Amino acid sequence: MNLNGPRRPILSEDETTAPVELPHVVVTVAGDGTLTAMVDGAPFASPDAIVWTRATFGRLMDAITQGRTIAVRVEVRESDGSVFTDILRTRKPRRAVAPSENPVPETRRSRHARRTPRLAEVTAGGFVPGEDVAVATIVSHTDATGTGEARALIDLDDLPDGTHEVILLGRISGILAVRRLT
C-alpha cells in the first residue's frame, strides 16, 4: 500500500506546464445590455474606451484572452440573476503538414478508402462575434465571425439517413437557427 500518494513525474526546466489556476473573468450584464468585466477581481476597461455591450462580447473576450492565447474561466452574470460559466481555451495554431519525402506507396485498400465528401453549407446571423456555435445533429462546432455570422460545412455522408435539418445554437447569445439541408 502506497501512503505517499501517486508519483509525479519530474519535469525538466524546458517543459511547460499548465497554470494551476485559470484567470477568473466575471462579466456582469446590466439591464440595458452594457457589460462590465473583472479579471481576478480587478476591473477590465476597454482599450479604446468604448462601452462593452452584448454585441462586443467577442472583442471583450479577445482582449482579455489576448486573442485566445490565454485560457480563462468566464462567468457571465445576467441582469435577471442567471449565471453562465464556461472555460475559454486557447486556440492551437494550425500548422501546414509538409509532404513526405518518401511517399507511402498506394495500396488497393487506400484507393478504395478515398472519397470526395458531399458538403452542405449552413449559415445564420445574429450571433455574438466570436461565440461558440453548436451545430446539431451535433456533428461539429464552429465559431461566429467578427460580424456575428456562423458558418458550418457538413459532410452529408456523416449524417444519419433521413436527416434534413440542422440547428445552429449560439452558446452565449442563445440564438437558435434551424436550417434545411438542400
| Boundary (domain end) residue, out of 37, 71, 88 | 88
Average pLDDT, the chain: 77
Give the H or E element holding residue 122: strand 119-124
Residue 95's pLDDT is 57
| Boundary (domain end) residue, out of 39, 71, 88 | 88
**Residue 68: other Cβ atoms inside 10 A:** 17
The answer to whether residues 71 and 65 touch, using CB atoms and an 8 Å cutoff, is: yes
DSSP string computed for 30-66:
-TTSBEEEEETTEEE--TT-PPPBGGGHHHHHHHHTT
- Is residue 122 located within the same domain as residue 75? no
> Does 104 have pLDDT greater than 80?
no
What share of the chain has pLDDT > 70, as a percent?
A: 71
Q: Which residue has the higher pLDDT, 67 or 59?
A: 59
Instruction: Determine the Cα–Cα distance for residues 68 and 89; give it in Å rounded to an integer.
Output: 7
Give the count of domains, the chain. Answer: 2
The answer to whether residues 122 and 152 touch, using CB atoms and an 8 Å cutoff, is: yes
Domain membership flag for residue 100: no
Range of the domain at 171: 118-180
- Is residue 130 located within the same domain as residue 174? yes
Per-residue pLDDT, averaged over 143-166, amounts to: 78
pLDDT band, residue 1 (cuts 50/70/90): very low
Domain membership flag for residue 143: yes
> Does 170 have pLDDT greater than 80?
yes
What are the residues whose beta carbons fall under 8 Å from the beta carbon of 98, sequence distance 6 or more? none
Residue 12's pLDDT is 47
Domain membership flag for residue 9: no
Domain membership flag for residue 110: no
The structure's pTM equals: 0.44
| Each residue's pLDDT tens digit, 17-60 | 555 678 899 999 998 988 999 999 999 988 787 888 888 888 88
The residue type at 89: R
- Is residue 78 located within the same domain as residue 32? yes
